[in-house]
Chain A
Amino acid sequence: MAVADFLKSARESFWVGWKVESNWADPVLFATYRIVQPLASLLIVAFIVIIGASTGTGLQRDYLARLIVSTAFFVYVAQITTNMGWLVHTDRSRYEVLKNIYISPGTLHPYIIGRGLVSVVNATISVIVTLLFSIAVFNGILNLGIPINLLSVNLLLLVPTVLLGVSGLIAVGYMLSAINIVSNRLEFILGESLAGIFFLLGGVIFPVTALPSQVQPLSAILPITYFLDAVRDSFGLGTTGSALLDLGYLFLTTVGIGIFAYAVYRKAELRAKRLGLFDRKSEY
């Protein structure tokens, strides 16, 4: 398919996704939970550090800064994997449109990616609000002197990092959609399980060196680990060495996961066609 057609289909799918995920509900409610939910997640970890400080260990400002930035950007991971993990279920069982999309000339590829981009936009809003709120609360109201300065962020590093990281996450979401086409009843757990694994192994709230040595190699093959490392580097909070090396690893792992996701999709598509799964309805 021509690139222009692919982009057009992705754009239309983005529009559908935006309508489905936002307009049907009260916009105030929608905006509130896009913002409140990530903020609550951040407050949980931030307060752990602050309560820890009150037990006599002293406030570890650099640690708290890294934790705030990592938790804010982890929103991309949580929202993209969870929402894309649901996509097949909602479109196949609830709206019953998956089969129609599959047989349309645009096929499913741009559709899945277009829908994933909705999560990217939503997550971006959440990330920005979370960062601004953190600075206002921790440095403004609580006056904790957390070393985060949004004006000195290295955008030349942050922008490609986010683009690559988001691409890797969409590839993960694409793979989840493929698995959900052929699986039954995994949609409720797949996205969240993966987000949970990334939260534990991706160095979000503690350095990966704190993990047991047996599981550290797993952390090393996840794009999320390098994504968050590079993001922290761009905020001047890096601890693991070269930012460019992180970016390089992020690129390699993203390409790797993209190829793997495509292979999974092809296999799932063949199986779905053989077993007639594109219009299967999950009934509980």
Chain B
Amino acid sequence: MKRDISIETRALRRVFKGVPGAGDVVALDSVDLAIEEGEIFGLLGPNGAGKTTMIKILATLLLPTSGEAYVKGLEVSKNASKVRKIINLVSGGETPGYGILSVKENLWFFSQLYGLSRQGANERIKNLVTQLGLDNYIDTRMSKLSTGYKQRLNLARGFINNPSVVFLDEPTLGLDVLSAKQLRTMIKSWMTDGTKTVLLTTHYMAEADEMCNRVGIIDQGRILACDTPQKLKAKIASRPSWKIEVTPNIQELDTLKTVPGVIGVSEVSNIETGTSTLKLVLEDESVMSDLLSTINRNGSRVLNMGKSEPTLEDVYINLVGKGLQ
């Protein structure tokens, strides 16, 4: 079934003035994107890729330099007040209100910014508080909440007006595994009626893989690929992904990238054990012998190696040539 387009950008471009002498910064460069109603769409990219700029434009906080951005068919820069009635925004790591007010008072305040009636607001607050496990903290001042609970409150605030479109900018930033999982469950359960849309930005590949119907990979202001996680992974299935554990840590990671046939590499180091786990995307497996020699020349020894199922991280490495972390 063909669904309505909920979010759309056409040749969207945003340039910021750089520091003197450094030239302008192109945060978004001719971005075309169409997100359907009922989708959770993930924007994956490193810091400075343009994810937050995209969200700020769509959330009416920033004007584009050129191009167009639509939410539910409304051009955002011309219809800001109409767009605001149907959206909300949650930024990870932001303070969700006034420290001196309790959880309930903060939520009530934000419900009034969306014009909810007293009864409507109370019901909505009750539901959100239960869904997000904030029941025991309803009368606690926001300043006394832990980071995880503050972020739950932030999310509750973001859903207070039951928006049609929600922008989640790194919503699980700094959260522990359990809190992040609860937040993801809540977002997915809110999506069940098929009329809502989420645009999510994240650093976490697994989060995008688990939550998103489709993912756009963005780097230096350009969308490099856009599809379902399964299709993105399938596209690189012909290119083997390898996981190699080495010790001591690789000193010159760039030397591995220069090996012919290596498409991209990422590294996660473990300081305690003195090992590095390398993820590599290769043209084909004939590269392996050159690769292992280069690792040896770096003074590292292979402890473990094996082929791995392609992940979104491999897709990212394949496109950008390096990992996100």
A/B contact in complex, CB under 8 angstroms: yes
Q: Inside 8 A of A282's CB, which chain B residues have their CB? A: 99, 143
A284 located at the interface, meaning its Cβ lies under 8 Å from any Cβ of chain B in the complex: yes
B residues 114-164 in Cβ contact with A at 8 Å: 142-143
A26 located at the interface, meaning its Cβ lies under 8 Å from any Cβ of chain B in the complex: no
Chain B residues near A (Cβ < 8 Å): 95, 98-100, 142-143
**Interface range, A side:** under 10
Q: Inside 8 A of B95's CB, which chain A residues have their CB? A: 283
A40 to chain B, nearest CB (A): 33
The answer for the CA separation of A284 and B99 in the assembled complex, in Å, is 5
Q: Inside 8 A of B99's CB, which chain A residues have their CB? A: 282-284
B19 to chain A, nearest CB (A): 15
Offer 11 A-B interface pairs, CB within 8 angstroms, sorted by A. Answer: A282-B99, A282-B143, A283-B95, A283-B98, A283-B99, A283-B100, A283-B142, A283-B143, A284-B98, A284-B99, A284-B100
Q: Inside 8 A of B143's CB, which chain A residues have their CB? A: 282-283
Chain B residue at minimal CB-CB distance from A185: B100
The answer for the CA separation of A284 and B100 in the assembled complex, in Å, is 5
B109 to chain A, nearest CB (A): 14
The answer for the CA separation of A283 and B141 in the assembled complex, in Å, is 10
Chain A residue at minimal CB-CB distance from B144: A283
The answer for the CA separation of A166 and B322 in the assembled complex, in Å, is 58
The answer for the CA separation of A283 and B143 in the assembled complex, in Å, is 6
The answer for the CA separation of A282 and B98 in the assembled complex, in Å, is 11
The 8 closest A-B pairs by CB, nearest first: A283-B99, A283-B143, A284-B99, A284-B100, A284-B98, A283-B95, A283-B142, A282-B99
A109 to chain B, nearest CB (A): 29
A residues 236-284 in Cβ contact with B at 8 Å: 282-284
A68 to chain B, nearest CB (A): 43
The answer for the CA separation of A284 and B143 in the assembled complex, in Å, is 8
The answer for the CA separation of A282 and B144 in the assembled complex, in Å, is 10
A185 to chain B, nearest CB (A): 9
The answer for the CA separation of A278 and B67 in the assembled complex, in Å, is 48
The answer for the CA separation of A283 and B142 in the assembled complex, in Å, is 8
A283 to chain B, nearest CB (A): 3
Chain A residue at minimal CB-CB distance from B150: A283
Q: Inside 8 A of B98's CB, which chain A residues have their CB? A: 283-284
Q: Inside 8 A of A284's CB, which chain B residues have their CB? A: 98-100
